[in-house]
């Protein structure tokens, strides 16, 4: 279809194919013309409705001057020219027209819509983007136009091209304007090619001639297809124009086509009012209507019976399917219940096995811990007996230093309280540690031999030595039970000498 205000070349080509077809606009009134650009054609009675198109007629159309046909005018020709004339009359002025200028400042001045210093930018909200500015279209493509044309040749859409330009920081085109710019570029390139042909800069090549012939054939096929498509709309447009000219005419395009063909063939029925025998014609028409009504009743009964049979078959099939679904669901439920029972049994068995394994692990762990404890106790007892063996105390005499001398005051007081002795030292009795240590020695001296042996046996210390040796064993055992023995004993070992150093070496051997 041609743009608004320009002649439709394809429509005139169709008119050249059908010489009997003419445009008759003299019978159309202004109020009968619609707002849309529709073609109005009155077809002659001598044209056949199914006349074939002869494609050889296209060669008879002068390509240089397609507007030379007097009988080809658009249907909206008069409407367009009248609208243009009325518009010109509204704006035409001569010397007799006077204009009155108001001095009101509110009328003479309005606030500008542009922001000062922004080169024509509209006062927009913060964060809004500025649309792409107008860029002149030239046959010499810049980088943006080259990218647009290259992406279009590769089949990219307008939205993809606009997104690519925005992503690379180029001009932000609206996706709807990309196709328009591509078309404008093609037009400018074609105009440049025409200029170069006219001035001898380029010439037609053999490949261009061959391409021209092939393109001409394809264009002819496309135009023929469009003509056939428009021809298929002929009686649809006929029905529309009949309704425009008479609102009570509500015939369809199919009915218009059938009546038009019958009129041309001479088989059209004569209206009852203009027939030679109207009563007989009305009677025949009534009989025809009754026959058609009976035929419709028969068809309706047959359709209802068929629909009822189909509905019955559908219901029976639905009932059978429902029964099958029920049986299938019951079978699946039974199978699922059996599977759940087996799974529950397996889970119970696994839980029992896991509990038994846990109990067994606990027993084994407890047995291993008990065995390790007994082994550790046995090793400790062996080491204890080895440390307190009599052979380590053969050289102990009354001059051997007391192993409790290295204990701190707190441990000495604890030993005194354990033996139910007074751990309080009055002022003037002397150094507290020495006083407490002396009290412990006096208590040891007061023990009899049987008491010493009983105390050694109670503590698991091997006996058999002298009374001095047994008292030293008891003192060493009591010192080793205290926390301060090891730390203070090591410091004392480094500082003492003579007999005391010899005694500490013996203590170290016992440890």
- Mean pLDDT, range 192-197, rounded to an integer: 93
Same domain, yes or no: 194 and 239: no
Which residue(s) pair with 22 in the sheet? 42
Mean pLDDT computed over 394-400: 78
How long a stretch of residues is the chain? 511
Q: Which residue has the higher pLDDT, 33 or 294?
A: 294
Tell me the three state secondary structure of residue 3.
coil
Residues 237 and 197 in one domain: no
Looking at the structure, do residues 498 and 408 belong to the same domain, yes or no? yes
Q: How confident is the model at residue 42 (pLDDT cuts 50, 70, 90)?
A: very low
What are the two backbone dihedrals, phi and then psi, of residue 114, each rounded to the nearest 5 degrees? -100, 155
Same domain assignment for residues 421 and 498: yes
Backbone angles phi, psi at 22, to 5 degrees: -130, 155
Q: Domain boundary residue among 223, 244, 260?
A: 260
Q: How far apart are alpha carbons 467 and 504 in whole angstroms?
A: 20
Average pLDDT, the chain: 75
Examine the domain organization and report whether 140 and 57 are in the same domain. no
Residue with tokens 């105009």: 191
pLDDT value at 136 more than 70: yes
Does some domain include residue 206? no
Query: Nearest to residue 112, comparing CAs of 122, 104, 103, 102?
Result: 122
Of residues 127 and 406, more confidence is placed in 406
Residues 500 and 407 in one domain: yes
For residues 379 and 177, the model is more confident at: 177
Query: Looking at residue 215, what is its pLDDT?
Result: 95
- Which of the pair, 54 or 380, is modelled with greater confidence? 380
Rounded to whole angstroms, the Cα distance separating 26 from 486 reads 135
Q: What is the C-alpha to C-alpha distance for residues 162 and 170, in angstroms, rounded to an integer?
A: 9
Whether residue 110 lies inside any domain: the answer is: no
d(CA 504, CA 206): 124
**495 and 401 within one domain:** yes
Same domain, 35 and 143: no
Task: Read off φ and ψ for residue 415, nearest 5 degrees.
Answer: -65, -40
From CA 58, how far away is CA 477, in angstroms rounded?
A: 133
Classify residue 142: in a domain, yes or no: yes
pTM score above 0.75: no
Q: Which two tokens stand for residue 35?
A: 């707002």
Residue 280 forms part of a structural domain: no
Taking CA atoms, 431 is separated from 35, 285, 371, 403, 409, in Å, by 131, 152, 49, 18, 11
Query: What 8-state DSSP symbol labels residue 5?
Result: T
Backbone dihedral region of 302: left (phi > 0), alpha (psi from -120 to 50 degrees) or beta? alpha
Average pLDDT over residues 466-490: 74
The helix/strand/coil state of 400 is coil
Of 23-37, 65-79, 208-222, 239-253, the poorest mean pLDDT is in: 23-37
What per-residue confidence (pLDDT) applies to 433? Answer: 79
Query: How much is the pLDDT for 85?
Result: 65
Q: How far is CA 481 from CA 73, 414, 447, in A?
A: 130, 11, 21
Query: Could you report how far apart the first and last alpha carbons of the chain are, in Å?
Result: 118
> Residue 380 and residue 416: Cα distance in Å, rounded?
27
Q: What is the pLDDT of residue 25?
A: 37
Q: How many CB atoms lie within 10 A of CB 258?
A: 14
Within a domain: 404? yes
HSE-CB at 66 with a 13 A cutoff on CA atoms is 15
Q: State yes or no: pLDDT of 494 exceeds 80.
A: no
* 169 and 236 housed in the same domain: no
Domain-embedded: residue 108: no
How far is 170 from 40, CA to CA, in rounded Å? 49
| Contact yes or no for 181/144 (Cβ under 8 A) | no
Q: Which residue has the higher pLDDT, 69 or 128?
A: 128
**At residue 153, does pLDDT exceed 60?**
yes
Same domain, 159 and 58: no
Q: Is the pLDDT of residue 47 over 70?
A: no
407 & 494 share domain: yes
In the chain, the number of structural domains is 3
| Predicted local distance difference test score (pLDDT) of residue 112 | 57
Domain that holds residue 79: 9-84+231-260
- Whether residue 69 is contained in a domain is answered as yes
Q: Are residues 71 and 29 in the same domain?
A: yes
Residue 100 lies in a domain: no
Average pLDDT over residues 358-387: 85
């Amino acid at each position: 279809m041609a743009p608004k205000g320009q002649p439709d070349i394809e429509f005139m080509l169709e008119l050249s194919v059908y010489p009997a077809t003419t445009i008759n606009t003299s019978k159309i009134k202004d109020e009968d013309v619609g707002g849309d650009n529709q073609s109005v054609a009155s077809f002659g009675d001598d044209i056949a409705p199914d006349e074939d198109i002869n494609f050889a007629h296209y060669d008879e159309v002068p390509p240089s001057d397609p507007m030379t046909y007097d009988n080809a005018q658009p249907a909206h020709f008069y409407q367009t020219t009248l609208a243009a004339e009325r518009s010109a009359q509204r704006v035409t002025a001569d010397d007799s027209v006077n204009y009155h200028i108001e001095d009101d400042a509110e009328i003479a001045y309005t606030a500008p819509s542009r922001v000062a210093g922004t080169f024509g930018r509209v006062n927009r909200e913060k964060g809004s983007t500025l649309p792409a500015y107008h860029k002149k279209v030239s046959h010499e493509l810049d980088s943006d136009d080259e990218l647009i044309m290259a992406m279009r040749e590769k089949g990219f859409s307008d939205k993809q091209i606009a997104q690519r330009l925005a992503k690379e920081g180029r001009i932000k085109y609206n996706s709807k304007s990309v196709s328009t710019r591509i078309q404008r570029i093609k037009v400018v390139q074609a105009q440049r090619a025409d200029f170069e042909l006219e001035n001898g800069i380029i010439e037609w090549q053999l490949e261009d001639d061959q391409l021209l012939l092939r393109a001409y054939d394809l264009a002819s096929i496309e135009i023929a297809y469009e003509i056939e498509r428009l021809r298929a709309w002929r009686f649809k447009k006929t029905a529309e124009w009949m309704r425009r000219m008479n609102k009570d005419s509500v015939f369809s395009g199919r009915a218009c086509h059938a009546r038009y063909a019958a009129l041309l063939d001479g088989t059209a029925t004569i209206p009852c009012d203009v027939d030679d025998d109207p009563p007989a014609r009305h009677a025949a028409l009534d009989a025809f209507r009754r026959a058609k009504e009976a035929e419709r009743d028969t068809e309706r009964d047959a359709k209802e019976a068929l629909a009822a049979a189909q509905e019955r078959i559908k219901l029976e099939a639905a009932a059978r399917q429902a029964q099958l679904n029920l049986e299938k669901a019951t079978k699946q439920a039974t199978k699922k219940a059996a599977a759940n029972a087996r799974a529950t049994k397996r889970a119970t068995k696994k839980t029992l096995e896991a509990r038994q394994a846990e109990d067994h692990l606990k027993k084994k762990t407890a047995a291993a811990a008990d065995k390790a404890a007994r082994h550790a106790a046995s090793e400790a007892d062996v080491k204890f007996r080895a440390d307190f063996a009599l052979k380590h105390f053969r050289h102990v005499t009354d001059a051997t230093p007391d192993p409790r001398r290295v204990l701190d005051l707190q441990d000495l007081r604890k030993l005194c309280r354990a033996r139910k002795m007074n751990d309080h030292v009055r002022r003037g009795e002397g150094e507290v540690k020495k006083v407490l240590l002396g009290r412990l020695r006096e208590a040891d001296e007061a023990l009899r031999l049987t008491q010493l042996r009983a105390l050694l046996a109670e503590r698991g210390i091997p006996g058999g030595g002298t009374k001095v040796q047994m008292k030293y064993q008891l003192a060493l055992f009591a010192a080793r039970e205290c926390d301060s023995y090891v730390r203070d004993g090591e410091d004392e070992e480094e500082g003492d000498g003579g007999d005391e150093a010899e005694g500490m070496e013996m203590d170290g051997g016992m440890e």
